[in-house]
Structure 1
């Protein structure tokens, strides 16, 4: 079983994924740092760790690209964030701003069981996927 990544590393991989979805040409370290409101040095450290784990590829001072394993992980993290935020808004009437903020924290600590129940609840509440 794969070792659980830290919240911070999950945030970085999600940020890289979302930035790459915008332009599809890789991501610059400055974009990652800006998205997460961290220094370029902190972003570089995280990218180095993700590279060591095999989740990103980056030539020296070049664009950052997710590997297949990195993209799979990023999609899982992003799906958790998106569905938790959706659950909070649609089910509990939480404001979108607070739901996004809360989902950011919850996505890292929620159990697989609870997350699967939320997914099932949302699917049953909206069977047509709208």
Structure 2
């Protein structure tokens, strides 16, 4: 069944476990989508009936193999579109999420393939999230959430959450960007030898490479500053 609502749910379920292991609960899914818990309950039942998720009453919601495949296809669309808007149209990284939410349901597979080819088949979107390839494969190196990293840990920024556009702007203003090296400090983070205090919420919105920054890795390219 082709359904934008189904796809939005599957994408949200996938995104919840992409950077941590705990499965999503119905209340968390409702918060992520900004809708009433009762609406989530009804939709989860429909997704389960379509064999796209597994769920028991009051328990977590998990993707089935079919649900994961469909979620990855939508994630690929969303992240390719975000990358396209930044590279080709000059959007800032805090501006692309809402645009991609609309476009991901409207463009054809042919246009999506053309975008992927034109961009050189990018592996990461502007926020550092991995772009699944056409077969649904995802390439990501070991990571650690900034808030969980010990003082003195140095890694490159792998990902910055796009959930809060205002936070993205604040982080960009101090030099936080995908691909830059950062050292965790008790008072914030050190970038290019300069210590910066971090805005509220930043420690839960930035992921660093788990290995030291000078160890070879498949880091995403550094984001161009605007």
TM-score if structure 2 supplies the norm length? Answer: 0.52
Q: CA RMSD in A?
A: 2.0
Q: CA offset at residue 23 of structure 1? A: 2.9
**1:81 matched to 2:62:** no
- Point out the more displaced range, 31-40 or 18-27: 18-27
Higher relative contact order (CA 8 A, sep 6+): 1
Q: CA offset at residue 125 of structure 1? A: 8.4
**1:41 matched to 2:38:** yes
Whichever structure has more helix as a proportion of its residues is 1
Q: 1:121 aligns with which of 118, 123, 129?
A: 118
Aligned to 1:98: 95
Moved over 3 A (4+): none
TM-score if structure 1 supplies the norm length? Answer: 0.88
Paired residues in the alignment total 126
**Unpaired runs of at least 5, structure 1:** none
Aligned to 1:20: 17
**Unpaired runs of at least 5, structure 2:** 124-219, 222-226
Q: CA offset at residue 124 of structure 1? A: 6.4
**Counterpart Cα distance in 2 of 1:65 and 1:20:** 9
**1:107 matched to 2:104:** yes
Whichever structure has more strand as a proportion of its residues is 2
Report Cα offsets for 1:96-115 as digits up to 9, x if no partner. 23211110010011101101
Structure 1 or 2, whichever has the larger Rg, is 2
| 1:57 alignment partner, SS class | strand
Q: CA offset at residue 9 of structure 1? A: 1.5
